[in-house]
Amino acid sequence: MARRWLLVVGMAGLLARPARAQDSGDGFLFGEPAFSFRVRMGYANARAGSDIFSFTTQQLTLTRSDFSAPSFSAALTWRVAERTDLVLDAGYAGARAGSEFRDWVDQDSLPIQQTTTFVREPLTIGIKEYLTPRGHAFGHFAWVPSTIAPYVGLGGGAMWYQFEQRGSFVDFNTLGVFDSDFNSSGWTPTGHVLAGVDYALGPTYGITTEARYTWANAALSNSFTGFHRIDLDGYSVSAGMLIRF
């Protein structure tokens, strides 16, 4: 995972070099840039609304907020019309929390402990529409970005998820304690809506903020027999840097 995001950040550095060549030095670009690269960090809230989360929070010392986590995303946008961008977006949010059974202890009166991991990685394509002009042209070649440019958008694609519980557990049929690793992961369709604002720091660089709501759910593996589909919905807020080129 770390290598994957280092590669993304490295690509951003390479993209920044040609962008500088377009900078005239006086706040203008020689023509409106066709692309931008964005890196954002934020927080991804998990709705955690399905029965697997209800069972987990009832039996273990976890709350639904334990499944929310810091997030990271990177996006490449392509201007396809005056106010419209095509967006390729990849994100990551991973939560990990330790817990123990609320009402059970082992035969030595020690806590029965485990660790729960919940990861969401969406990979999507979408459309973004600016509500106001994102910049202004002067003559045939010079272009200057607007200081503030709000936008809305939607998209869809696939999400990779993982839900894992590793440690000690109670067999409710025999009341014995056993060690195990319950794990479910895979790809599932996803969709989202979003709204955000770009704030220009100059002709090439800027700050971007975004709020997004994502829909997704997936079938659990045989490790979690008897449960319905896992809820992967949630909202996120993030902020970061953009580079135009």
> Is the pLDDT score of 122 beyond 70?
yes
Confirm if 204 and 245 have CB atoms less than 8 A apart. Answer: yes
pLDDT computed for residue 140 by the predictor: 66
Instruction: Please state, in angstroms and rounded to a whole number, the distance separating the CA atoms of residues 128 and 193.
Output: 10
Q: Encoding tokens for residue 109? A: 């009166």
CB atoms within 10 A of CB 1: 10
pLDDT of residue 8: 44
CA distances 201 to 53, 69, 136, 149, 204, Å, are 43, 29, 15, 12, 8
Predicted local confidence at residue 1, as pLDDT = 55
The pLDDT assigned to 142 comes to 80
Q: How far apart are CA 116 and CA 96, in angstroms?
A: 6
Nearest-angstrom CA–CA distance, 123 and 91:
7
Domain 2-244 belongs to what topology? Porin (2.40.160)
∠ Cα 123 234 192 (to 5°): 45
Tens-digit pLDDT profile for residues 157-173: 999 999 999 999 999 99
Per-residue pLDDT at 46: 98
